[in-house]
Amino acid sequence: MRRILVPTDFSEEARNAYEVAISIARRTGAAIKLLHVVEAPYYSSNFSATGDTMVGSDSMEQLFMVQLLETTKNQMNELLRTVPHDGVDVVQEVDVDRPINKIKRTIKEDHVDLVVMGSKGSSGLDEFLIGSNTEKVVRSADCPVLTVKHRNPDFDVQEIVLASDFKREISTAMNEFKKFQQLFDARLHLVYINTPGAFESSSNLRQKLQHTADKYGLQNYTINVYNDVLEEDGILHFANDIRADLIMMATHGRTGLSHLLSGSIAEDLVNHTRVPVLTVHLK
């Protein structure tokens, strides 16, 4: 792991994510980019993050953006000053754009290996219609995304839940999951959530999980079949039962109507669990 991206909105959750990223960087020697994106208004084509404007821009709009960028850069400097990052290479960037567009572009251009983001979670109508920026990144990022809600500056992982239906091809995601397990020398708990609507015998499911473990050469793991009404609830309850430090899942990254109709358990977990979640997009 060489490059970690930490998008920040200067919230408490984003600060928590930055602290976790620093802890991971100390383990891996990775560099961190701390990124804040000023949401681009309709006139943003006349403005850049350096404060340069194009001919024809409105003077009041220009003044507002200059002041906003100055405030933002002060907040960034304060974050760098108040969160210790000794021994970790941290660079900062402030830009004017749509946050999801800038984050996706940075992942590609900087060859980012991991995104660490804070998540406040969302619920109700906001979750159904819009979703958070974190959820949008989880759905579309071409690299693993670690979502964090609570403060954990000495981020350590001993017990990992890997939840899946173990039916589709997850080889790309599994390679990333193994890297994270090995980074912390953690125990991996493979779990299949057996629900009434898609019930299978425990013996058949255990065979599937064992086949997965053998296929990918997993080490230090357990095999688990957990019964619950809904998959998401089952993952949360199982993670609570074993006192998991991390949940890992693959996401299909569907958008639009397909996402609203079928949903994504990985993205729902990002909103609802207190446990950090590592997601990998299935390409």
For 170-180, how does the pLDDT look when each residue is reduced to its tens digit (9 = 90+)? 777 899 999 99
The CATH code of domain 3-123 reads: 3.40.50.620
Could you give the residue range(s) of every CATH 3.40.50.620 domain in the chain? Answer: 3-123, 159-281
* Per-residue model confidence (pLDDT) at position 60: 73
Cα separations in angstroms, 144 against 21, 48, 117, 172, 216: 13, 29, 11, 11, 18
b/e map 11-45, b = 16+ CB within 10 Å: eebbbbbbbbbbbbbeebebebbbbbbbebeebbe
Give me the pLDDT at residue 172, please: 78
Do strands 221-227 and 90-97 pair parallel, antiparallel, or not at all (unpaired)?
unpaired
Among candidates 114, 112, 111, 130, which has minimal Cα distance to 122? 130
Q: Smallest Cα–Cα separation from 85: which of 34, 11, 22, 148? A: 22
CA distance 58 to 21: 40
The pTM score is 0.86
pLDDT beneath 70, residues of the chain: 40-58, 121-132, 167-169, 253-264, 283
Phi, psi of 169 (to 5 degrees): -75, 120
Question: Which candidate, 144, 165, 253, places its Cα nearest to that of 209?
Answer: 165
Closest CA to 73 of 99, 53, 52, 95: 95
User: Class for domain 159-281, per CATH?
Assistant: alpha beta
Q: pLDDT at position 129, please?
A: 36
Query: What is the pLDDT at residue 87?
Result: 94
Spell out the residues 6+ positions from residue 222 whose beta carbon is closer than 8 angstroms to its own: 187, 188, 189, 190
Looking at residue 169, its pLDDT comes to 65
